[in-house]
Structure formats: C-alpha cells, structure tokens
Structure 1
Amino acid sequence: MLHNQIKSDIKQCYENLSNQLDNFIPRRAQNYLVAEIAKTLGGEYHAKHRMLVAEAGTGIGKSLSYLLGAIPFAVFNNKKILISTATVALQEQLINKDLPLFNRIYPKEFSFILAKGRQRYCCNHKLETSCSSDENQQVSLWDEKPKKSDLDILKRMLIASESGKWDGDRDSWPTTIPDRVWQQIVADKHSCHAGLPKHRDCPFAKAREHLEKADVIIANHALLMADIELGGGIILPEPEKTIYVIDEAHHLPQVARDFSSAAASLKGAANWLEKLNQSVGRLAELADYKKSGRFQTALSENIALLIPSLRQIANSIDDAQFNKDGVYRFEHGELPAWLQEEAKGCKDASKKALQALGKIHDLISERSKDNEILPRVGEQALTESGFYLQRLENLEKVWNLMAQPNKDKGAPLARWIEKSPDRENDYIIEVSPLEVGHRLDQLLWSRAVGSILVSATLRALNQFDYFCRQAGIFEKEATRFLALASPFDYKNNARLVIPALPLEPQADKFTDLLIDTLPEYLEGETSSLVLFSSYWQMNQVADKLRPLAKKNRWELLIQGEESRHIILKKHKENCQKGKTSILFGTGSFSEGLDLPGNLLKNLIITKIPFAVPTSPVEEAHAEYIESRGGNPFLQISVPEASKKLIQSVGRLLRKEEDSGRVVLLDRRVITRRYGKALLDSLPPFERVIEHV
C-alpha cells in the first residue's frame, strides 16, 4: 500500500504547482495518471510486478505526471529513478524545464542529472597521444592516414581540455567532430579506468561520480540497453534499486533489437588483425614474456586462423546472389553448409584471440599500476590493446551469432551479407534477432523495482497487444494498462477529410494524381504540412509544383534540401510574416514535429504509412510469420501503419486552442476491410468522407 507520507507529498506538490503556474488548469486525465503511477509503484495492483503501460494523448502532460507520481515514492523508499527517452528534445525538456519546475514544487531535496554513455566522452590520454610529436604513434591506430584537418582539430581539443575550457563531452564541443576523428580519442572500457594515473580525472570518470549521487537520472534508450546488456548497474544504477520510467516507449523494442544485433566486415577485419599481429610481440614484452608467452602464442595462432578464413569467405561469396541494394539474406536464417563450418571456426578462433589479448592487456595494466613499466609506455600500450579488444569483442559477437544453431522454439536470427560501401570487393556480415521481448523481460522488467511505460502512441488498432509482444510484457494480468484520451476538442476543432479520388496509392498514375490534386487542398491555406511515403514521390511532386508555388507566392520547404532545423525556422518566420508556407516531408516529419497554433492548420497525408518490408530484418520477420501460417501484412504492416497514422495526425493539434484540417488522400481506409479499424483508431475528428 502507498504510505500516507507519499500521498501527502504528492498532494503538496500539486498544490504548489497550481501556485507556481499562472495559467494552470487542472486536468482530470493528468490527475488520474499521477494516481495510477503512484498506486502501481506502491504495489496496490500487484505486490511484485509493478508495471504500468499508459498511452496518454497530446496535452495530458505525461512528463509532469510521472515526476509527480514517481519521485515522492522513490525518495521515500530510497530508490533511484531512471527516465529513459528516445529523443534529445525530450531530454532537454526534462532537464531544462520539467525537473527544475518540479524541484521548486517538491518539499524535499532531490538531485537530477543527464547521463551519457562512455562513447560521448573523450579519453584525455588518447587525445594526448593523438597529438604526440611522434608521427608513428600518431597514426598507428588510424584505419587510413589522417588528414591535416583531422590532426588540427585534435590539437585544438587538447589545448581546450588542458586549459579547462572543454569538459571532454562530444556534445559540448562547438563544432561537429567527424566520426573518424572521434573514434581515435573516444573513451573505452578497456584502456580508460580510474586505476591508472592518467585516467583518474578523465571526463567519463567525473561524469560517473555525479551520476552515482543523483536521485533522478535522465538517459536515452540506447544507453539503457547498453547498460542492461552488460548486466545492469555498470553505467546506470542496478535494476534492483531502480524505478524505470520509459517515455516515448514505442521506440524501445527497435533500440533493443539494434543492441542485440552485430556486424563486422570480412577483408576489413582481416586488415586490422594483421596490424594487431604485428603488435603482439611488443605488447607481450610489456606484459612480461614469462607470464604472457602462452597468451602471445594463443593470440598469434588464432589470428593466423582468422585472417585466411575471413578472406576465403569473402572470395567464396557469389555476387550474383545479391539484390539491387547489395544485400544477400539467408532464408529462414539458415546458412549453407560451407559457411556454417567457417562460422564455427571463426567463432572459436575469435573467442580464443579475445581471451588471449584480454590476459595480455590485464598483465600490462598490473605492471603499470606497480610502476614496473614507464607510465607513458604502459598507457600507450593499454590504449592500443584496448582498441583491438573492442574490435575483437565485436568480431566474436558476430561469429558467435552466425554459428548459433536455429532453435526449435521462437523466431530464428536474421542473417545476411551486405556489400561494403567503404571498401571495394569487401563484405559485411550482419546478424539480428527478430524478437527481443524475452530479453527485455529477462534483463529489465523482471528485475526492476517498478516500470512505468508511457507514450502518446502505444496502441495499434486500439489494442496494446502488438506493443506488449514487441516489448516483452508477458505478465498482462499483473500489468496495469491505461489509454487516456487527449483533452483536445477534436470534434469541434478539427476535420478529417477523405476526398473522392479515382485512384488508390498503388496505382501507377497516383503520383500524377497527387500533382493534379494537391493544389486544390493547398489553395487558401496559410500553413500546410504534406507527408509523403517516399523521398522519390515527394521530390517528383515538388518539382512539378514549383512553378505554381512561385506564381501563387507560396514558399515550398522540402525536407532534405536544408537541415530540419533551418526548414522549420524558415516555416515559422513565414507564418509570422503572414506568408503562405508549405512543408513537404516524409515519415520522420510525422513524429516529434511541434507546430502549434498558426504554424499548422492544414495537414495532408498522401498515403497510409505502410512500411514495405525491404530491410533484411523485416523480410526475415515476415518470412517467419508466414512459416507459422500467419499473415505478416495483418500482423505487422497494419498495426505499424495504425501507429504511424496516429502519430501523423497528431501533428495537427498541439494545444487545446488549436484547430485545423487533416486531408487523407488514401481511400483504402474506406475501401479495404482493415480500413475501418485504422479509421476507428484515430482521434474523434469530425469526418468528411466524399463519395466517388
């Protein structure tokens, strides 16, 4: 049961909130969400499985709800809160707006911090080494010889770091740091640890100190997955001491899938293994031959097995099997016999090589701590061995997954080969799970103190089933589910118009029809957003409409022609000046785009956002469902389209006083059997369905 002190703190917060905000309007749905979060965490619905899954429409105030419902409970019970988001924008909102506000209204002390992964920080020692006057030392770990501009930016970073003007955080550097440069100085778990003198004041170590003291930690889904894949409690607090608030929760399954995937090149890996082989003797000498001799032998022997195997696999691949995108996918995840045997060999060799290098690395580390070798020499060696350890870990993960036999139960792994975009005649081996729900349940939900999952879009076709299957929520009876409608007056403030068009989107002439039809629905509207299903179609339509736009003094702003930030800035300036402004965008403009008031009055969706299963993972998932007698279109495509369509129409009304029109140029919502379910899952707009 919820302790009376927690109830009192929540009530006090709410009273203080109404005093803090001049235009505060109590919202029934928000109050209900706060109460349900607190009761779920208090164990009132289930003593052990404390999980709430809440779809809360735009305007309810989700972030303030979970701060009100969760922080008093966590502080009273001495638990940590981890708020995980999918976007930087929401993180910034929480850190800069919502949490400072809550700090003012909450009667007790609490602290909060933004957490970032190790890869967002530089390693001071690597930075120093990369700027060394020794040219050989400078370039030893680069895949290609660095450009002068690369070395110049590194020198500027070193000066800024040493003078205290830069904290080593990639995001706080004033200009974009190229990936090839950042990879040379990024902190890594092998060579960057506080046991070594040069690393005691490193940027990541300082950030970790602050993290451990904070009550509320803001992270992204990628960092959350990185931590639990390591076992939990490595970067972030332990799951057993943590309440998880997963905002923008509909993104979590995809992030989890990405983290369980692996990829490595063939000839590229053989090349860096050759470089490692040339360094083995020197590293073993620093580790002390008496102790490291057998590890040196094991490492050299397994590198000698890996290099010809990787090159042989590359040479045995038949280019004729690749599709137009340069991908060859193995049906049902089953490898041909020859590759299955090669995979087993690469798995064993990469595992043994990783173990041997790990032992050499540890011995060098011990000798560095005991001052048996010069600190500068030891740390340079640890940087180098740490660099190769990371690469070997990835190589071992790839071949371990490739060699893994398909299980009798559950979905197989998707396995495919892709032509390398960077190296001619090289290939990338890639592996990905199809379903990650069981892994999320095992690593996260079953261990957490409590879990609150929220988003504006969690249901598909008015059901939570699709999301539960993706996210591994199997204890449905013990889980609390809420679907809270937005407070907006959709019926009176917005219309959904489905025009009487003679063609449906799959028709050959549909793009021509869009070119002819769109002007009718843009005429007389000051602020419009047109969402397309593909860049190709968007650009075709844009090119044909430019003369008309120029004639009518419309400003067309096309996604991809300038950065998203610049396009939206121009759109806002146009609207403020009373100019007709029209945004053309694809799927990424259907989520996270906030255009309140006069910034958007007219939303046109050219097509139901069905995703064509073109990626190897999507193709493999559809293949798996078909093999079990299912229908991938109804089981994957329609639920996904439902979610995306809800997100798309959600661009129109952002505040309670907003109004406007949605035009859907896809009559399949009327003509197809699944159409009614798609329509019924949308907000309750006034519907205008024109008859052909």
Structure 2
Amino acid sequence: MSNKYVVVDLETTGNAPKKGDKIIQFAAVVIEDGKITKEYSSLVNPNQPIPLFIEELTGLTDQMVKTAPFFSEIAEEINDLLEDAYFVAHNVLFDLSFLQEELINAGYIGFYGPVLDTVELARILLPSADSYKLSELSQSIGIIHDRPHQADSDSYATAELLLLLLNKLQKLPKETIKQLFRLSGGLKSDLYTLLEELLQQKETKLEETPPMLEIFRGIAICKQEDSEGSSNNETELDETFEQLNKELVLNKGFERYEKREGQLTMMNSVNHALRSSKHALIEAGTGVGKSIAYLLPAVYYGRETQKPIIISTYTTQLQDQLLTNDIPKLNKMLPFQVDAALIKGRGHYISMEKFEHTLKEREDNYDTALTKMQILVWLTETKTGDVDELNLSSGGSLFWSRIKNDLNVFIETKEWKSRDFYSSAKKRANGASVIITNHSLLLSDLTSEKALLPKYQHVVVDEAHHFVKAAGKHLGKRFDYLTIRILLSQIGLLEQNQLLNKLEKRLSKQSIHSVKTIHPLEFSRLMTALTESMDELFKMIGIYAKRHSSVKSHQNKIKVLYENAGHIKESQYVKANAERFLFSLIDVLHAVNGTLERAALLKDFLAPEEKILLEETAMSVPKLEEIASMTRSLFLRDEEDSVIWIEMDQRAAQNATSVLAEPIETSAHLKDRFFAVKESVVLTSATLVVDHSFQYILNQIGLTKEECLLNQIPSPFQYKKQMKLVVPTDLPEINAVPLEDYVASITEHIITISEATKGRMLILFTSYEMLRKTYELIKESGLLEGYALFAQGISGGSRTRLTRNFQRFEKSILFGTSSFWEGVDIPGDDLSCLIIVRLPFTPPDEPIHAKKSEHIRKQGGNSFYEYSLPEAVLRFKQGFGRLIRTEQDRGFILVFDRRIVTTKYGRAFLESVPAIDVQEKNINETVQLIEKWL
C-alpha cells in the first residue's frame, strides 16, 4: 500500500457550499509509504461572520480568522499537495464538495483523483465498533484526539485511523479480499482500486492462511472453539460448598479477593435456595457484588449435582460482563474451570448457507453491499456468529433478516452443518454447567414446542425487576406498519424484481399440470389490493390515535389506549378496514402457498440459488399467518384480558404506527408455566422491595411469602457519610402551577446549583416535554455557556454515547428521562450531583397503566397503593442508585418534588432507599451546603 494519501479535514461556516458556506480551517496530513510525512494546517478567512453554533462547536471565532489568508491565497499549495494522491476524509463527500467549490472559485479544475472515506472503511473493517463518529472511534482504538471539531486534530486522528485500517486490510486473507473487491463497485469511495492492487499482490505470492482461520467454500471464517464446552479441570472437590464457604473459600484461591459481608449473606441465601429446592427473592443493594454472590454457589451446586444452572439477564451488557469478567474471575479463584456458555434465540445467529447464496447475487443496493462486506470481515473474527457483535445500519438489519438462522425447508444444510454457529452455541450450552441467556429466550423456552434451552430445573434471574415486563412483551403482540410493508415489498408484485417474480421466472421453465398455479396478473391484483387495504387500515388507526390521544412521550410521539367498543365511531371504521385487510391477506396467502406447493414438486430440479428464493418465500408464510392472527385478535375480537394500545410518530404518521397488546396479568402464566415446574428460581435485583416489603413483586409473579425465601441485603456503602439529600423549600408544588411556571422555577435552581457543583450533574425527568422545555430555557438564558449540555432526544446518540460524552467534559450536565433512570454507571468525580425533578409516577392516562389500574379497581382493590405507588417507588430507587457507585463516591441528591416530604405516601419513597438524613433548604442554604461539603 505504497500510495500517497492526503487526509483532509475542514471546519466550515455551514453544510452547503453551493449556498455560500465557506471554509474557516483547512488541515491535511500526508501519508507516503505507510508513514506520516507532512502536516499542513491553516485558518481561512471566510469573508463572512461565523455562526454562533459553529463557534461553539469548533472554538473558532471571527477574531481568530480575521487576519487569516483567503482560500484563494493558499489554493495553489493545497492543489499541489493533492497531486497524484488519494483524497481521504472522515465522511469524504462533505469535505470534497467544499474543497471542489473553493478550488474551482480559485481558478483550478478541482480534484478528480481517487477518494477514500474512513467512515465507510471503518464500517467494513471494524464491523463491531460501537460508533463510527471520529471522536468515539478514536477513543475506542486508542488514538489520542484531544480537540474534536478542530481540523488539525481531526485530520491527524483520521490519518492515524487510516493507517490502522490499511494495516488491517492488508492482513485479511486473499479469499476475503477477493469477495470484498467483487462487492466494492457501488461504494461511495474508490476502495476497489486499493482492493485490486492488494489482490494482485496476494495472487503473486504464496500466502499461508493464518492459524486461527480456515477457508471453507471460498469464505474465510474464524475457527470455532470446541463445541462441547470450555476446558474442565477434573480436580475432585474434597469439601462441600458449605465447608468452603465458612472462610469464603479463602484457602482455595480467594486470598486476594475482597471480603464483603453482604456478599457472603447472599451466597448463603442462593446456596440454601438451590439445595432446598425453594424459590428465592433477593434484593442486593449497590456494591454487594451480586454476580459473584450467585455464580459461586450456582457453580458448586451444578458441579456437585451435574445439573445445569441457567443465569438469565435482561441486558446484553450484563451477559457480556458475566462471560468476559465474572466467569474469568471465578476461574482464577477456583480449583477447577467453570464451563460456561452463552445461548440466544436462533435469529441472533447467521446462517452461512443463506449468506453464501447471497454472495452469488449481483448487488446493486449500497446498504446491502456494505453489510455483506462488513460480514465478510466479521467472519474472520467472530467465534459466535451472533448479530449483537455487529454494528449494522437499518438497511443492514433488513439484510440480516434474509440471512439469519432459521429452520430450513428447501435449503440443504449438509455443507455448513459442521460449522453452524447456532448448533455450536447449543452444543456448548448442552455441555456447560452454567448457561447464560436472556429473559426473552427463557420465557420463549416455556411455551416453545421444541426446547430452546437444555433441560434445567434451577435458574437465577438477574435484573429481575424487568422479568414481569419481559413476560408481558413475550405474551404480547406487535402489529407494525413498517414491518408488514417491508415483508410485502419483499414478496412483491410479479412485475417487480422481487421474490415471487424471481420464482415465477424459474418455475415457468418447468411444467407440472397437476399443480394449480395463479396467473401473474391475478397475483399482482391481489398484492395491490392487500397493500391498498393495509394503507387504509393504518390510516384509520392513525385517525383513531389522534382523536383519542392525550399522552405524548418523545417529541411528536402519541401513545393511546385502543378499545373495540361499539360506541366509538373510529373503532368501527378500524374494524371494517381490518376485515377487508384480512380477506386480502388470506387471498395472498393462498397464492403464495400455491407457488410454494408447485415449487416443492420441482425441488430436486432447482439450482442452489433457486432454492434460497424458495426458502425466503417459505419464511414469509408463517409471518403472513401471524399477521392474520393478530388482525383477528386486535381488531375483530373483544380481548377482555388484554390491554391494546397504539403508538404513532406524527412526523412520519403511517410509517411509524404500531398497534401493541399485552395481557393485563402475567402472574398466573408465570406461576403455572414457570415457578410450578422449576425446582428453584432465584430472582435478584437492586430494586425489588417497596417500603421494606416484597409483597408487590410477589403479587406480580403469582407467589406467596410462604413459597419463597426472602432476603433484603443492604448496600455496604455508608450513605449517610457519602450522600446528602435535599428537598428545596422554595420551589412550588409540582401540581399547583402550570408547566411553564414550574419549568422556570426549576431552571433557576438548576443553573444556580450547577455553578456550585461545577456541572458533573445528572438531571432525571419523567417526561420528555419537561426535559425539552428545561433544556431550551437554560440554553436561551446563556448563563451556562461554559458548560457542555447533553440531552436525551435532543443532543442525538444512544444512552451510552451521551453518557460517554458527558464524562469527557469537566463541566457538563446530562438531561435524561426513561432509560436514564437505570443502567447508567458514572462512578467517581464525573458525577457529584443528581437531581430528581419529579417523583416517577406514570401518567394516569398512559395506556397500560390506565388499563391495569381499571382492572385492579374492578377487582375491588386500590390501584394507587397496589400499583401506581409501588411502580413509582421502584423507579425512584433505580434513579437514586445512579449517584453512589463505589465506596469512594460522594455527592448530592436533590428531589425537586416536594410531595416526598409533604404527603403521607412520600414516606414510602424514603423508607425504600438506604437510611439518609433528609434536609429541607432554600436555594441559598443549599448552595452553602454544597460548597462546604464538596
């Protein structure tokens, strides 16, 4: 790769060079023979004011560029720099479009050489990266990039990234390069020229396949681990867990392990539950170390009894932590190796048969070509074949649905059978003593005709506060416009080049008169009628949602309860359109089945690529049948025991409309199908207890106190010494004033408090509308100009990205709602102040909440004390737990909602968190306390 590369980055006054936006900083790094040989940087006078938001983003001001050269004065130097080089940038089309405009205006012809985009290159060569934003990508691979959005720093970081990517490209095996070259013609950049050069190099010399790879059917793949479970030292145990536990197994390798009293207590509780065949509920406070506390007794019990133990989590993050951190930690401590395996649902794993077939297709779609290239590189790295390792675009996710592992009807699986990732995962699980999975698969296994997990009787459910919600989703339904539309477009009209069209072309060459087939024009008419009836149905659903909605979540999103009641005019329109849609759907199903029936008789005469078409079509049948079943249950029957609601984004109305349903009660299902048939289920979380009682969670899962071992283990942290909790006396009662007045009041408090704490603040809201109004008012005030403000739904990016950005700045504030109440881990000095704006009660007209509350009232119960309050308390506990994450953390919690001290039920919140002094102070007293204590 001895080419010359000029890596460019620009800062500009805006995004549109054709509309007069100009360059304000140009920077370039030259790479020759694989080394950085030159750096060039210059500010540029744009001859126009720099917009304020650009100034904030880049740090470049009008004063700084006032004496800088105009672009025309440095154009010759830049033009010479680019001669005979690859033009490289992170999002190359942006930088190139600006440079072309400026070079042409300066009298040059512009740049017309080859270009490379490091975003595109990174997507292909780093397929598992969390983010492809330059600052985050640099951080993840160890590139120092201390001044994001300044061209000289950005260009140098991009140059280092390019060198890393080129080095990785060179190390790929010849077979992968060959496949990448074939797919690279439709990319934004000229990667194909590099690949062609590299392929010629590899063709001329004998290249050995790296020992960790193998070439199978022309595809380079990573050799999989032994599928019978990890290595197992057969050292016999001469002591039982109880004997070893007396000293926390200190003489068996735990010498360097920190003793925690709460952890010992939890170990004993889990051990007792497993050995006495009892269910257990264990709340373990932050810092107890619950992963090791349940893993150790589970490992010993499983080893002694030769019975597998299932560990189920809600998040993939915790699954990864268990597998890559906690299990290896145990392996260093124990006199034997823990054979652990991770298993997910079948659709998480790639089908190599299907992927191989898709590689033979001519690829015109950009997203699909890029995704194929990502996967080819990923296959040289992955030992699991699990899609969660990949960072796919939305178009990439669509392609994955074609190649995910599924039961095959037409495709023979003999060639890839020995290298099937899903089969390997199942074999590893069958041979393992500890099987890690997720709540969704655990629940699916209970109702599946074919076992998805090895036979088990003992399970630990971590993150158990999500288990009931996961059960509701598992037993529920989702009728989604976009999903249905994509499915129908894949099947397609016969005049389009989609599945049925391709199949008919293949099948028309054969003639079997005994099979009744449908005429192409007739099928086209049926598909058109189905698409039109679906559009009309969702149009009516949208009208219903708009007329009956009062709850808004993020931005323009609507969430509204749907009822089939005869007196509601809009629901009658929905019902009539649902009937038409169902009839059209049944007609299409008959037609598709007819084509498949005909094709099945010709199976032995079809080529492999023809069989994959059959497979994709066959996969659509159960999906169409499921849509028909949902149409009946959601719109054409009265579902007394379910809550049905509509979710819609008004900005994209029809495309972003879904109808969802969940059972009102899941307790009977969980009791009968899960707890009654398993010997021991241990549920653990940091938030299970409400006001010193497990009764709420017991009611949710259908168990009684007598059936369970109950244990609440407090956090080892000294909250009284590490935390101060303040309730302001000079804020209005939240329900006593209009929203705008309340937002104005809390905004003043936030600004004053953040100045005292120097930022380092997380603010938790219960509604997006209040978050947005508060954020905007703070920005408008200009009083926190020196602070970095990150707001969920406004600043862009995932929860992880926003949290990471928050931690990068010394003076920063993070505004969050919904998902930020839990799972956010910001230890140390990065977070010193937590503000809870409002007690996290669910709005009474939120659809699921409203229906469940009504159900409780009909049963003669009190919906507030039996449902609303416990849910709010558990949410409050999760938010409360964001502040103190280690024994060294110190900080403030401010609860702006005065109901926590003025109402009788407020005590339930304070009684459910660690004992701490509650102080009521005005803003001046609060600031004095903060300055004195922090």
Is 1:246 paired with 2:461?
Answer: yes
C-alpha change, 1:396 and 1:217, in structure 2 (3 Å) is same
| Contact 2:751-2:784 at 8 Å conserved across structures | no
RMSD (Å) for aligned C-alpha atoms: 4.3
- Bigger mean CA offset, 565-574 vs 93-102: 565-574
| Secondary structure, aligned partner of 2:687 | coil
Change (3 A) 1:216 1:403: farther
Q: Which has the higher contact order (CA 8 A, sep 6+)?
A: 1
Q: Specify the alignment match of 2:617 in structure 1.
A: 384
Give the C-alpha shift of residue 52 in structure 1. 0.6
The match for 2:270 among 37, 41, 48 is 37
1:227-246 equivalences in 2 (<5 Å): 227-231=445-449, 233-234=451-452, 236-238=453-455, 241-246=456-461
Deviation at 1:246, TM superposition (A): 0.7
TM-score (norm 1): 0.81
CA contact under 8 A between 2:308 and 2:458: conserved in structure 1? yes
- Between the aligned partners of 1:292 and 1:542, the Cα distance in structure 2 is 66
Deviation at 1:251, TM superposition (A): 0.8
Task: Give the alignment partner of residue 148 of structure 1, picking from 352, 365, 368.
Answer: 365
AA partner of residue 677 (structure 2):
R
Contact 1:669 1:676 in 2 (8 A): yes
Percent identical residues: 23
Give the letter for the 2:742 counterpart. Answer: F
What amino acid sits opposite 1:644 in the alignment?
A: R
C-alpha contact 2:533 2:584 (8 A) present in aligned 1? no
Contact persistence 1:286–1:364 (CA under 8 A): no
Contact 1:398 1:429 in 2 (8 A): no
Q: Give, in whole Å, the separation in 1 of the partners of 2:486 and 2:804.
A: 46
Describe how 1:241-320 pairs up with structure 2 within 5 A.
241-264=456-479, 269=484, 275=491, 279=500, 319=543
- The equivalent of 1:206 in structure 2 is 424
1:430 and 2:660 equivalent?
A: yes
How far did residue 667 of structure 1 move? Answer: 0.7
- 1:601 aligns to 2:829 (yes or no): no
CA contact (8 A) 2:279 2:679 kept: no
TM-superposition CA deviations, 1:567-594 (whole Å, max 9, x none): 43344344xxxx4433332232221222
Task: Summarize the alignment of residues 4-403 of structure 1 with structure 2, pairs less than 5 Å apart.
Answer: 6-7=240-241, 10-11=244-245, 14-16=248-250, 19-20=253-254, 22=256, 24-43=257-276, 50-133=278-361, 148-157=365-374, 159-160=376-377, 168-173=385-390, 176=393, 178=395, 180-191=397-408, 196-197=413-414, 199-200=416-417, 201-231=419-449, 233-234=451-452, 236-238=453-455, 241-264=456-479, 269=484, 275=491, 279=500, 319=543, 322-323=546-547, 324=549, 329-331=561-563, 371=604, 373-400=606-633, 402-403=635-636
Task: Single out whichever of 632-641 and 69-78 deviates more from structure 2.
Answer: 632-641
Q: After alignment, is 25-34 or 275-284 more displaced?
A: 275-284
Tell me if the contact between 1:126 and 1:383 (Cα under 8 Å) persists in the aligned partners: no
Partner SS for 2:702: coil
CA 1:604 to 1:106, structure 2 compared with 1: closer, same or farther past 3 Å?
same
In the alignment, the residues of structure 2 paired with residue 480 and residue 394 of structure 1 have an alpha-carbon distance, to the nearest angstrom, of: 43
Which of 674, 680, 685 matches 1:455?
685
Q: What's 1:545 paired with?
A: 778
**Partner amino acid, structure 1, of 2:467:** L
Alignment counterpart, residue 721 of structure 2, candidates 492, 504, 510: 492
Output aligned runs, 1:650-661, within 5 Å. Answer: 650-661=881-892
What is the alpha-carbon distance in structure 1 between the residues aligned to residue 814 and residue 919 of structure 2? 24
> Larger deviation: 281-290 or 649-658?
281-290
Aligned residues of 1:166 and 1:173 also touching (Cα < 8 A): no
Q: Could you tell me whether the CA contact under 8 Å between 1:413 and 1:432 is conserved in 2?
A: yes
Residue pair 1:122, 1:168 contacting (<8 A) in 2 also? yes
C-alpha separation between the residues in 2 aligned to 1:267 and 1:679?
Answer: 44
Moved more, 383-392 or 475-484: 383-392
> How many Å separate the matches in 2 of 1:261 and 1:245?
24
- C-alpha displacement of 1:306: 7.5
Q: Residues 9 and 293 from structure 1, CA distance in 2 versus in 1: closer, same or farther, beyond 3 angstroms?
A: farther
Kept in 1, the 8 Å contact 2:309–2:435? The answer is yes
Q: Could you say if the C-alpha distance between residues 449 and 79 of structure 1 is closer, same or farther in structure 2, counting changes exceeding 3 Å?
A: farther
Structure 2 CA distance for partners of 1:681 and 1:314, relative to 1, 3 Å: closer
What CA deviation, in whole Å up to 9, does each residue of 1:526-582 have, x standing for no partner?
4322222333323333333347776684443433415344443344344xxxx4433
Structure 1 residues 301-357: Cα deviation after superposition (integer angstroms, max 9, x where no partner): xx8997897677568769366335566644487896787798789889979987997
Question: How far 1:436 sits from its partner (Å)?
Answer: 1.6
Q: Is the 8 A contact 2:540 2:574 kept in 1?
A: no
User: 2:669 aligns to what?
Assistant: 439
Alpha-carbon contact 2:728-2:896 (below 8 Å) kept: yes
Q: Is the 8 A contact 2:352 2:416 kept in 1?
A: yes
Q: Which residue of 1 aligns with 2:795?
A: 561
AA at the equivalent of 1:535: Y
Q: Contact 1:30–1:60 at 8 Å: present in 2 too?
A: yes
Tell me: CA distance 1:128–1:214, structure 2 relative to 1, closer, same or farther (3 Å): same
Q: Which residue among 567, 575, 589 is the counterpart of 2:820?
A: 589
Cα shift at 1:367: 7.6
TM-superposition CA deviations, 1:395-436 (whole Å, max 9, x none): 4245346555545xxx44435586897675996443322222
Give the counterpart of 2:913 among 678, 682, 685.
682
* Counterpart position of 1:518: 750
The answer on whether the counterparts of 2:574 and 2:635 sit within 8 Å (CA) in structure 1 is no
What is the match of residue 220 of structure 2?
Answer: none
CA distance in 2, matches of 1:415, 1:554: 40
**3-state DSSP class of the match of 2:435?**
strand
Determine if contact 1:295/1:359 at 8 Å carries over to the other structure.
yes
Q: Who is 1:144 aligned against?
A: none
Partner AA of 2:686 in structure 1: A
Instruction: Supply the distance in 1 between the matched residues of 2:830 and 2:255 (Cα, whole angstroms).
Output: 25
Separation in 2, partners of 1:457, 1:671: 24
SS in structure 2 at match of 1:514: helix
Residue identity in the other structure for 2:865: L
Tell me how far 1:67 sits from its aligned partner: 0.7
Secondary structure (helix, strand or coil) at the match of 1:556 reads strand
Structure 2 residue 867 is matched with structure 1 residue 632: no
Q: 1:501 aligned to 2:730?
A: yes
SS of the equivalent of 2:706 reads: coil
What do the CA deviations read for 1:241-267 (whole angstroms, capped 9, x no partner)?
242111111011112211222233579
Compare 64-73 and 502-511 and name the one that shifted more.
Answer: 502-511
The structure-2 alpha-carbon separation of the partners of 1:419 and 1:566, relative to structure 1 and needing over 3 Å to count, comes to closer
Corresponding residue for residue 479 of structure 1 = 708
The structure with the largest alpha-carbon Rg is 2
Question: Compared with structure 1, are the counterparts of its residues 668 and 217 closer, same or farther at alpha carbon in structure 2 (3 Å cutoff)?
Answer: same
Shift of the 688–350 alpha-carbon distance from structure 1 to 2, 3 Å rule, reads same
Q: Is the 8 A contact 1:263 1:429 kept in 2?
A: yes
How far residue 644 of structure 1 moved from its aligned partner, in angstroms, is 1.2
How many Å separate the matches in 1 of 2:247 and 2:292? 11
SS of residue in 1 equivalent to 2:909: helix
1:97 partner SS? helix
C-alpha separation in 2, matches of 1:556 and 1:55: 35
Q: Distance in 1 between matches of 2:487 and 2:240?
A: 57
Question: For this pair of structures, how many residues does the alignment match?
Answer: 659
Q: Distance in 2 between matches of 1:131 and 1:614?
A: 50
Q: Is the 8 A contact 1:332 1:620 kept in 2?
A: no
